[in-house]
Structure 1
């Protein structure tokens, strides 16, 4: 029996109208917030969520969304996904045995060799033992009789660490989860699921405990050289899309993961960077539904933020969006600009037919020209009249 899943499909589709809306919003932000670095620093995936007869559909626009960035605690979502993926695989074996000893013996004999070979860079890391690389099944799972076989649930202590890793965001809880799952399982599951791509070393990667309790395994990043926690905006947004569609692992697992992200948005120790009430930044016309943030300093000492969030339009709560950003600076000006971009993109996307390029309004053209330093050959009032 194979421990790893088949690749999940890419749910995100490019949308020219949404891309135009995002590009226009960024151009406006560079004018509205003159202290921003140019070109605009943050990488973004912006996804419009549509109801269709076949379920949710996801239209995508973005900036530098295929590049891997140091993403700090946002990468903990990779461990959350991997935990539920492991539970599904373990329960497939549990249905064929009658005792816990049989189960754990089969897992070590059948799963462990495949898991350990799944990510050679991890298996070859000096100072990282085989036991440290692999799942600690007895520590993670409790078993119970089920129709002449077994069923597995998370041990209460592991479930508590998993919940607190997302809601509280504290590194000691993440370290306990990561050590229990093992680097090889976490990153093998991300690779098999189609959220990490070894040849280019891009996608979601988590091979550090945040506490230094195990040696880290690094990959290249755009913003911080070699790092142990990295992601692209696109792959994180695609993982979120599967959670929202309830197709990541299974319906129940997706439902619980979304509930954790929703709780994190409202009861977490560190508020969302898009929660302007708690951050004391200018209010925007969207509401936060779910969130996981990342915050850390680059090797240069510059603090950067990342986040994957679900928001809805305040004017029309049926209109929901996945917003993933990385490598934003931590100052109020940068965070206010991000809020402006999200708000403005939502409003501009509402003006255009789905899938169609959106014509820019005259004021948008003026602001875009000004942001590029173009001198007007006619008076600005004439441009606005055009």
Structure 2
């Protein structure tokens, strides 16, 4: 690996039995969900994992759900920095200069098509000294301030903190990392009905000029994803070696240590802890389990809630959940659900719950 992550493998496959279970659940509980992308992944001990759903490739504005993308990119950048340090062997005092000189030009010269030729001086490159603290062995870790902002962005949903995370990473790294990893195809943004990508090129209203792509549910936006790509990201986290110590994973059902990590085992474990903390705060940063009648529990989650340009609020969520009776874990993602109050999410929760029941207990 170099600065940008290698392409991630295709670790989820469509499953006809799970799709039949989903279709039956939609027939029973899905009235009004015709425009709501939903993906459910049945996590197995080893790859690949089965999935089912609807509208999975559509790209929609999904608000704060895209903060999960910034979280992932931060850990990828730390990985790349420490790999360069291991190769180059700088003195600690020279580490940040090495990163700036080696990676700065690479980011600038390898932009995604949507940023090519644009004057993004000050917005494109990482702010190395804001993101990384050099250790005595010349490796880097996040500064306490940057990790605090990352914590606040994921756990508390704070937009200002998320903006600081985006500022630290830069638009160039955020977008190109998603592209090389296979979470975004910069040649396939039109039409958004089939674009199947993840795009974060805005800072949640904190000063950077947003760079926008087309989406299905709104005018062009700076924070958008398909349900499929967000499900892939969460499946890497949920099923990789870093999940072995995560809340909700029984020791006897731990993922195979040979499964593909999202970044690496320790980074993935740290991300899972952030997402776990998000569902254990007083503000209740989850949607699916606001319906207390369902037979699953959410252990990790990132939600999104924001207005479209027409003023309609739309909700989204990516979650790692566990069915109570069989103890099976799933990744569930939905987006573009019109939100008025908690009752707006109940049909989605019921479809997810019924799909799991139909699949596990036919």
Report TM bin, short chain.
0.7 to 0.9
Match of 2:216 in 1: 222
Counterpart among 145, 161, 167 of residue 155 in structure 2: 167
Deviations 1:120-140 (A, max 9, x none): 4225335x31x3210011111
Match of 1:20 in 2: 20
Counterpart among 257, 280, 286 of residue 272 in structure 1: 286
Q: Offset of 1:108 from its aligned partner?
A: 2.3
Give matches, 1:84-123, under 5 Å. Answer: 84-95=75-86, 96-116=88-108, 117-123=110-116
Match of 1:62 in 2: 53
Output the CA distance in 2 between the equivalents of 1:56 and 1:258.
19
Q: In the comparison of the two structures, how many residue pairs are matched?
A: 333
Q: Per the alignment, in what secondary structure is the counterpart of residue 111 of structure 2? A: coil
Q: Offset of 1:333 from its aligned partner?
A: 4.1
Q: Offset of 1:207 from its aligned partner?
A: 0.6
Say whether residues 1:144 and 2:128 are aligned partners: no
Deviations 1:163-211 (A, max 9, x none): 1110000101000000011011111111111111111124111111112
Match of 1:187 in 2: 175
Counterpart among 56, 64, 70 of residue 79 in structure 1: 70
Say whether residues 1:338 and 2:338 are aligned partners: no
Match of 1:366 in 2: none
Decide whether the 8 Å contact of 2:114 with 2:186 is kept in 1.
Answer: no
TM-score after normalising by structure 2? 0.88
Output the CA distance in 1 between the equivalents of 2:93 and 2:224.
37
Match of 1:365 in 2: none
TM-score after normalising by structure 1? 0.83
Q: Per the alignment, in what secondary structure is the counterpart of residue 101 of structure 2? A: helix
Structure 2 residue runs without a partner (length 5+): 190-194, 243-260
Deviations 1:319-376 (A, max 9, x none): 1110000001113443111111111001000135xxxxxxxxxxxxxxxxxxxxxxxx
Output the CA distance in 1 between the equivalents of 2:165 and 2:206.
14
Output the CA distance in 2 between the equivalents of 1:325 and 1:85.
25
Which has more radius of gyration? 1
Decide whether the 8 Å contact of 2:160 with 2:206 is kept in 1.
Answer: no
Match of 1:4 in 2: 4
Give the 3 Å change call, closer, same or farther, for CA 138–194 of structure 1 in structure 2: same
Q: Offset of 1:118 from its aligned partner?
A: 2.5
Output the CA distance in 1 between the equivalents of 2:27 and 2:348.
12
Q: Offset of 1:253 from its aligned partner?
A: 0.4
Match of 1:45 in 2: 39
Counterpart among 226, 234, 241 of residue 235 in structure 2: 241
Match of 1:295 in 2: 305
Q: Per the alignment, in what secondary structure is the counterpart of residue 10 of structure 1? A: coil
**Aligned structure 1 segments of 4 or more residues deviating by more than 6 angstroms:** none
Deviations 1:55-85 (A, max 9, x none): 3541110100011000100001111011000
Match of 2:274 in 1: 260
Greater alpha carbon shift after TM alignment, 281-290 vs 336-345: 281-290
Output the CA distance in 2 between the equivalents of 1:254 and 1:297.
31
RMSD between superposed Cα atoms in Å: 1.7
Decide whether the 8 Å contact of 1:125 with 1:217 is kept in 2.
Answer: no
Output the CA distance in 1 between the equivalents of 2:297 and 2:64.
22
Decide whether the 8 Å contact of 1:169 with 1:268 is kept in 2.
Answer: no
Q: Offset of 1:99 from its aligned partner?
A: 2.4
